[in-house]
Amino acid sequence: MAAFTLEGKPWYYGILLGLFLAGGLVWGSDYLFIEDVKNQIKAAEAQIKDLDTKIEQGRSAQRKLPQFREEVRRLELELEKLRRILPSTRNTEEIIKKIKSLVDQGDFILHKLTFPKLTPASGGDPYAEWPITINVDGRYHNLAILFNRLSNFSRIMNVEQISIQALGVQVDRTITSEFVAKTFVYVEPKAPEAAKPGAAAKPGGAKPGGTGE
């Protein structure tokens, strides 16, 4: 096989061959090295774009943070208000002080103030009823004021089962009244009970001592 030579060829053959070889070197360099760099640059650009998105999301959340804090504060105040209306504890001492204060203001004689046991919640309601029986001697007008003030108590207080009778001897007080001031206590929902180990029956198991036919 004859070797390739430029001897006897026109001068531009050498130039064309040089250009061809230079182009091949450039293409090979681009393919081997520059293409890899381009891929790395594209990956870095994608990562930068993703980081920019996350940074913007973080800045957006930071701008909304005061709004979130204000909303949390509003919900906490609302929850505190609801707990005063429907507390999760009986607060017996507080109720006794409140009722005795109202009795003294209305110039009543308190004969009975009975706190029964808290009845369990029924029918899926999240609260339990707590009926408090009260018996006083006083006057009609003051009794109406007492009922109104009980209904304006910070917690829910409904006046029910009202019984009013005239006193036999009417001097400073003309009536005796017994009624129920029903309030409510919030009951925390119970967590579901975990199944006891071994409680489930084994499928296909024969009864001990059983006989087959």
Any domain includes 26? yes
> Quick one: 122 and 96 in the same domain?
yes
For the record, the structure tokens of 153 come out as 């108590």
**Residue 172: pLDDT over 90:** no
> Quick one: 46 and 104 in the same domain?
no
**Residue 119: pLDDT over 50:** yes
> Quick one: 55 and 121 in the same domain?
no
C-alpha torsion angle, residues 79, 81, 87, 88 (rounded to 10)? 10
Q: Say which CATH number the domain at 143 has.
A: 3.30.70.60
Any domain includes 4? no
Q: How many domains does the chain have?
A: 2
CA-to-CA dists, residue 50 to 37, 44, 46, 64, 206, angstroms: 20, 10, 6, 21, 63
> Quick one: 53 and 73 in the same domain?
yes
Q: Of 154, 160, 156, which is closest to residue 134 (Cα–Cα)?
A: 160
Structural domain that includes position 144: 92-186
Any domain includes 210? no
Q: Of 167, 115, 163, which is closest to residue 135 (Cα–Cα)?
A: 163
Cα separation, 152 vs 123, in Å, equals 27
> Quick one: 54 and 124 in the same domain?
no
Cα separation, 127 vs 140, in Å, equals 33
> Quick one: 97 and 162 in the same domain?
yes
Any domain includes 202? no
Any domain includes 213? no
Q: What does R_g of the chain's alpha carbons equal in angstroms? A: 45
Using DSSP, state whether 200 is helix, strand or coil.
coil
pTM of the model: 0.52
Q: Of 104, 102, 184, which is closest to residue 146 (Cα–Cα)?
A: 102
> Quick one: 96 and 141 in the same domain?
yes
Residue that finishes a domain, picked among 85, 118, 144: 85
Could you report the per-residue pLDDT of 29-76, keeping only the tens digit for each?
666 566 666 777 788 888 888 888 888 888 888 888 888 788 878 877
Any domain includes 55? yes
**Residue 145: pLDDT over 50:** yes
Any domain includes 3? no
**Residue 164: pLDDT over 90:** yes
